[in-house]
Amino acid sequence: MTRHQPEPEPEHHPEPAAGGGPASQAPAGHGPEVAAPDGTPDAPRPKDASPAGRAPAPAESREGASVEADGIGLKGPRGWVFRDVRVEAAAGSVVALTGASGTGRTCLLLALTGRMRLTEGEARVGGLRLRKKASAVRRTAALAHVPGVDDLEPSLTVGEHLRERVLLQRRYGIAPLAALKAALRSPRQRRADARRLHDE
């Protein structure tokens, strides 16, 4: 016997005020500069609602996950790696990090994927609060070096860029994507591979 549960009414959010600034900015002083080319901010999100205390699942979307950060910073043993970085990027948008070597670009990416703990500020990835749900963010976010992707087409999404690279590799045999595939493995697959290597 099944019980029918009524569907909840959709929540209505106020429209964002027109004439806002750019979708994402970082101060020129400290850390990498962040830019989102599309310039469209995400709509406000409702607070996390999780039944029985479970972490809310990130929005399943082929476009990817939105990234929102406000005043985030990371402090290392020699001082601040980056500080007061702000990002607001809609799901599927391309975000470019620019800066000289040693300005904290890799550390910023590691922090936004839940692999380094932020010292200050708040961030959400796919609707998940990074400080409290870092393990859930790690399950859905990965980093990989994709050689040859240095001339991005603004009209393509991240997924479309990666699909284009796969098609080019199949046709011309250029730039193997082994690093990308390895980074996108699930934690269970990574543990199984590590056990297999250890046993050998």
Q: What is the pTM of this model?
A: 0.48
C-alpha to C-alpha distance for 158 and 64, rounded to whole angstroms: 8
pLDDT in tens, 151-166: 677 788 777 877 887 7
- What are the structure tokens assigned to 92, written together? 């599927």
- What are the structure tokens assigned to 4, written together? 């029918």
Length reported for the chain: 200
pLDDT at 196 (0 to 100): 82
Higher pLDDT pick, 69 / 142: 69
Report residue 30's pLDDT band, with 50, 70 and 90 as the boundaries.
low
pLDDT in tens, 85-95: 999 989 888 77
How many CB atoms are closer than 10 A to CB 136? 20
pLDDT in tens, 8-23: 555 554 444 444 444 4
Burial of 118 (0-12, 13-18, 19+ CB in 10 A): buried
Q: Tokens 């994927």 sit at which residue?
A: 113
Report residue 122's pLDDT band, with 50, 70 and 90 as the boundaries.
very high
C-alpha to C-alpha distance for 128 and 136, rounded to whole angstroms: 8
For 67, how many CA atoms within 13 A lie in the half-sphere containing its CB?
A: 25
